[in-house]
Structure 1
Amino acid sequence: MTPVPRLPDLTHADDRPVPPRLGDSSDWVLGRCWLWCANRHTWVLWLGPASTTGHHASLYACERCVDRLHHTIIDYSEAMIDAPLDATGIRVPLYLSPKDPPRPVPLLPQPSAGGTPIHRARHRRPRTVLGRLWHRLITGRDPTSN
């Protein structure tokens, strides 16, 4: 018979190891990570509220998963800087709503100050799988070939 999981025992709170820190205002608690590490029981940080249709919960992640999420956010920001412009001069988003009109063609690289299109060079390779996907989507080439 499989044992029933129990909530963390906090009776010996003074004996617990010091949690990781991501800044002075971070409040770490013992619990299960909700992200990529397969829900291991460790120190986790509250990331904010999460919701689906009709359901709400608090989202927690361990230090390793918070770091991975941080790098994904950086990759997205850099991908949006490199995003091409459509024929009307508007940056093409990486995500579209079903209500959005189809992407106009042709897509143009962003213009320089002189008005001629330029290809922006990445200062570093993407750090995450999603970052590499966004890079290929925007540039049409593999980031490892830079």
Structure 2
Amino acid sequence: MNPPPALPDLIHADTRPVPPRLGDGSAWALGRCWLWCGNKHTWVLWLGPASSAGHHAPFYVCEPCLDRLHHTIIDYGEAMLDAPTDAAGVRVSLYIGADDPPRPGPITYRRGRHRRPRTQLGRLWHRFLTGREAPPAV
């Protein structure tokens, strides 16, 4: 039988190195990250409440995962600026709701220069934006 995981050592928290962004007024705490780093125990930032299937929890991420999330959000914003348009001139969304109507007519792709995406998800969006990957049908 494995021993239970140790709780964060808060006794010596004032002697531990603090994250560079600690002085920005954000809610940093010692604990486990919820994202891509493998749940390491470090300084984590509370991003807000998370919910799934009626369950709620505080959502914490470490600084490297926060940077990755930040770059993904930037990639999404820039992708939507370059989004192709449908026959009605409406920008094609990167996400389609279950109740969304079918897109009218062909999709028109922009011929402008696209900034190189920062993240893997941004690279997938870029393939869609440039027409190298067909958008999913509704």
User: Same fold by TM (over 0.5)?
Assistant: yes
The answer to whether the 8 A contact 1:20-1:43 is kept is: no
Count of residue pairs the alignment pairs up: 133
Matches within 5 A, 1:1-146: 1-21=1-21, 24-109=24-109, 118-122=110-114, 124-141=115-132
Q: In structure 2, how many angstroms separate the alpha carbons of the residues matched to 1:140 and 1:89?
A: 16
- The residue that corresponds to 2:136 in the other structure is none
The answer to whether the 8 A contact 2:79-2:129 is kept is: yes
Q: In structure 2, how many angstroms separate the alpha carbons of the residues matched to 1:22 and 1:13?
A: 13
For normalisation by structure 2, the TM-score amounts to: 0.88
Q: Which amino acid aligns with 1:46?
A: W
The answer to whether the 8 A contact 2:18-2:43 is kept is: no
- What SS does the corresponding residue of 1:21 show, helix, strand or coil? helix
The alpha carbon displacement at 1:30 in A equals: 0.3
The farther-off stretch of 97-106 and 10-19 is 10-19
The answer to whether the 8 A contact 1:20-1:28 is kept is: no
C-alpha RMSD over aligned residues = 1.7
Q: In structure 2, how many angstroms separate the alpha carbons of the residues matched to 1:14 and 1:51?
A: 31
Which segments of 5 or more consecutive residues in structure 1 lack a partner in the other structure?
Answer: 110-117
Identity, % of aligned pairs?
Answer: 70
Q: Which runs of 4+ in 1 moved over 3 A?
A: none
For normalisation by structure 1, the TM-score amounts to: 0.84
The answer to whether the 8 A contact 1:85-1:92 is kept is: yes
Which segments of 5 or more consecutive residues in structure 2 lack a partner in the other structure?
Answer: 134-138
- What SS does the corresponding residue of 1:79 show, helix, strand or coil? helix
